[in-house]
Amino acid sequence: MIEFNSQNDFVLKEEIQVISWLERIAKVEGYEIDDLGYVFCSDEYLLEINKQYLDHDTYTDIVTFDYSQEGILSGELYISTDRVRDNASEFDVSFETELRRVMAHGLLHMCGYGDKTEEQISVMRSKEEDCLKMWEQAS
C-alpha cells in the first residue's frame, strides 16, 4: 500500500498513476512494496526531522526512513515541497518533474542505491532518469 499525506497545503495530482509508477519502479528493481508513506511538508518541517533524527542541520528535499526487509519495501518518505519548487526552478524543470525525480530518488535509496560518492551519484542520476522515462512512457 502506498499512501500520501501532507503537513502543508500540497495535494498530489494523479495519485493512481503515481502509485502504479512507483510500483513499476520497485518491480524493475526486483522489489515489492508493502507499506510506503509519502509525506509532503515544508522546508521547516523537514529541517526539524533532519535535525532530530539524522543530526543534520541542513535543508533537504527528502528524508527517507527505510524499514524494508528482504525484497519487501516499507518506509516513510518526507518531501519538502518548498525545496522541490526551488530545485525545479534552479534546474529549469517543471515542479511535477522535479517532484517525481525526488519521489523516485527516495524509493531508489530503499532499493539500495546510494549517493555519497561520485560513482554512486552517477548511478543514482541515471536511475532517476530511467524512472522519469517510465513515467513518460506510461502517460
Q: Single out the residue of 78, 131, 77 nearest to residue 101, CA to CA.
A: 131
Q: What CA–CA distance (Å, rounded) separates 18 from 21?
A: 5
Alpha helices in 29-117 (DSSP H): 43-54, 81-91, 95-110
Binding residues for Zn(2+): 105, 109, 115
Q: What contacts 24, CB < 8 A, 6 or more positions away?
A: 134, 138
DSSP label at residue 40: E
Binding residues: 105, 109, 115
- Residue count of the chain: 139
